[in-house]
Amino acid sequence: MPRKSSVTESSDTKSQRTRSRILDAAARVLSVKGYAGTRLTDVAKEADLQAPAIYYYFKSREDLIEEVMFCGISDLRHYLQAAIDALPDDLSPMDRIMVAVESHLRHELELSDYARASIRNSGQIPKRLKTRQQKEESAYNRIWRGLMRDAVAEGQIRDDLDAPLAQALVLGALNWTAEWWHPRRSSVETMVANAQVFVRYSLSPVAKTARPRRRR
């Protein structure tokens, strides 16, 4: 997803655009080749720059990757929060979770190379590069925790589930789609619809049915 500069008319506009181009290119390369396979020469080629030019904007390969990883989860969090804030107050907690499922998948699969890069490489990058990313992950998880808590309070989560564990399982499944989904296999719309059905009926209380009467 292109990251638009907040700078408008100033002497830094060209510099900001170039920095954004480098980040966009790094996100695309990282989302495909992973942490170990990402080389500055590949990023430079994607950004249509000479590799040494990257060092004007980022001190090292690690600094560039750290920024991409942070932007990925930060953008995802802001995208989800905006979607939740736009919902009507009377929408049920479970329907809010369905909106969160759609927001996560659309941003991850369709809108943002940054999100895919961050999700796919979260377990690969060194711990020293994770500080800002982990803070954003915690903030993102808090949004989901609030959604789950509201659903529990309204009796919309089955009582044999541990809500935090269920949340972790849901997010794990959503994140994993970045590893196997391909647009030739199915559309994002189909992916979202299937995920919503899967999550809704995994979390919702099981309807009680009357036992059949014994024949005498």
Assign 209 a pLDDT band (cuts: 50, 70, 90).
low
Specify if 25 maps to a domain: no
pLDDT at 201: 94
Amino acid at 188: V
Q: Which two tokens stand for residue 34?
A: 């992973």
pLDDT at 206: 79
pLDDT of residue 173 exceeding 50, the answer is yes
| 119: pLDDT strictly greater than 90 | no
Instruction: State the average pLDDT over residues 46-62.
Output: 91
**Which pLDDT belongs to residue 213?**
59
Asked if residue 132 lies in contact with residue 66, where contact means CB atoms within 8 angstroms, the answer is yes
Q: How confident is the model at residue 12 (pLDDT cuts 50, 70, 90)?
A: low
Q: Is 153 a domain residue?
A: yes
- Residue 99: band (very low, low, confident or very high) from pLDDT cuts 50, 70, 90: very high
Burial class (CB in 10 A: 0-12, 13-18, 19+), 188: middle
Which of the given ranges, 83-87, 124-128, 182-186, has the highest pLDDT on average?
83-87
Please, what is the average pLDDT of the chain?
88
Question: Is this structure's pTM higher than 0.85?
Answer: no
Task: Give a yes or no: residue 130 inside a domain.
Answer: yes
SS (H, E, C) 19-30: HHHHHHHHHHHH
**Over residues 180-201, mean pLDDT:** 92
Whole-angstrom distance, CA of residue 115 vs CA of residue 182: 16
In a domain, 48, yes or no: no
Range 38-49 average pLDDT: 93
pLDDT-based confidence at residue 67 (cuts at 50, 70, 90): very high
For residue 161, the domain's CATH number is 1.10.357.10
Residue 57 domain-assigned? Answer: no
d(C-alpha 127, C-alpha 118), whole Å: 14
Dihedral angle computed from the Cα positions of residues 23, 85, 122 and 98, in that order, rounded to the nearest 10 degrees: -130
Q: Is the dihedral of CA 156, 161, 162, 166 positive or negative?
A: negative
User: What's the structural domain count of the chain?
Assistant: 1
User: Does 125 fall in a domain?
Assistant: yes
Mean pLDDT in residue range 164-182: 91
Residue 216: the pLDDT is 52
> In terms of residue numbers, what domain contains 179?
69-203
In a domain, 6, yes or no: no
Give percent of the chain above pLDDT 90: 64
Residue 42's identity, in one-letter code, is D
